[in-house]
Amino acid sequence: MLSGSRTGKKHWFCATMVIVIVTLLTLSWLMIRPDSPVNRANYNRIQVGMTSHNVDSLLGLPMEDLPPLSYEDIRADEDVAMLLATWPHSIRHWKTDTHMITVIFDAEGKVVGRSYSRDPEAGLFRRVIDWLGL
């Protein structure tokens, strides 16, 4: 009977630890949840063919300085046929402390490419969130 009691305690301990870990991860996610429009969800909303006005209404005004070249691409999507068929292109950037969205527009102001990048100094938890696609 004593060993059964120990097994039951181990199950309760394991279940409690799982609940604590899930709760901590959820709270961590809520704390780093992006309040900025520069986030993965908005990046996913940008589609090839959207106008620059639509992108501006989603992300706000782009940054005017040169973007950092050290950021690592997490995801990049482009329509190669449209990139080759249209010229000239304009490139605009929206940036936070850890992430950047870059959008390529054709001469008519329509999206032909986009990328979502991360600061190489981003922490492990942020990298895991990016890997999960959140």
Q: Does domain 36-132 have CATH number 3.30.1450.10?
A: yes
CB 77 within 8 A of CB 114: yes
Domain positions in the chain: 1-33, 36-132
> What's the pLDDT tens digit per position in 63-117?
877 777 778 888 888 777 777 777 788 889 998 888 899 999 988 999 999 999 8
> Does the global pTM surpass 0.85?
no
Q: How far apart are CA 84 and CA 62, in angstroms?
A: 24
Written as six digits, the tokens of 61 are 């005004």
